[in-house]
Amino acid sequence: MRFEAYVAMRYLRGKRKTRFVSLITIISIAGVTVGVMALIVVMSVMTGFDRELTAAIIGNRAHLFIEDRYGAMANPEKVIAEITRLCPEITAASPVIQVEALIRTESSEDGERYKGAYILGIDPARESDVTSLGENLTTARGRVYGEGRLPRDKEIVLGYLLAETLGVGVGDAVAIITPKGKVGPFGRRAGQEVWVTVCGISQAQMSEFDTIYGYVDLGTAKLLTAVDGVDGVHCRLSDASIETANRVKERVQRFTALHCTTWYENQRPFFEALKQEKVAMFIILVFIILVAAFNITSTLIMVVMEKRRDIGILRTIGASSASILILFVLEGLYVGLSGTAIGVVAGTLLAYNITPVAEFLAWMLHIDLFNSQIYYFDHIPVAVVWSDILWITLCAVALTFVSTLYPAWSAARLNPVDALRYE
3-state secondary structure of 86: helix
Q: What is the pLDDT of residues 87-121, one digit of tens each?
A: 999 999 999 999 889 998 987 666 788 888 999 99
Helices (H) then strands (E): counts for the chain = 17, 12
Round to whole Å and give the CA distance between 322 and 402: 17
**201 - beta bridge partners?**
147, 158
Q: What is the pLDDT of residue 89?
A: 92
Query: Measuring CA to CA, which residue among 378, 35, 325, 386 is closest to residue 203?
Result: 378
Q: What pLDDT tens digit does each residue of the chain (423 aa) get?
A: 577 777 777 766 655 545 555 677 788 888 889 889 988 998 888 888 888 778 777 878 889 999 988 888 889 999 999 999 999 999 999 999 998 899 989 876 667 888 889 999 999 999 989 998 998 999 887 788 899 999 999 999 999 999 999 989 999 999 998 875 555 554 545 457 889 999 999 998 777 788 889 999 999 998 888 778 899 999 999 988 889 999 999 999 998 889 999 988 888 887 888 888 888 888 888 888 888 888 888 878 877 777 777 777 777 777 778 888 888 888 888 888 888 999 999 999 998 888 888 778 777 877 766 655 555 555 678 888 888 899 999 988 998 899 888 888 888 877 766 656 655
Taking the alpha carbons at both ends of the chain, their separation in whole angstroms is 30
Kindly list the domain boundaries of the chain, sorted by start residue. 3-55+271-420, 62-266
Strand pairing report for 192-202 and 173-178? antiparallel
How many CA atoms within 13 Å lie on the side-chain side of 105? 21
Round to whole Å and give the CA distance between 122 and 133: 10
List CB contacts of 176: < 8 A, sequence separation 6 or more.
99, 101, 102, 103, 117, 119, 156, 193, 194, 195, 196, 214, 216, 224
Q: What is the pLDDT of residue 90?
A: 92
Cβ 38 vs Cβ 46: under 8 Å: no
Query: Measuring CA to CA, which residue among 401, 394, 411 is closest to residue 329?
Result: 401
Q: What is the pLDDT of residue 186?
A: 45
Query: Measuring CA to CA, which residue among 248, 323, 307, 216 is closest to residue 10?
Result: 307
Q: Work out the number of other CB atoms within 10 angstroms of the CB of residue 137.
A: 24
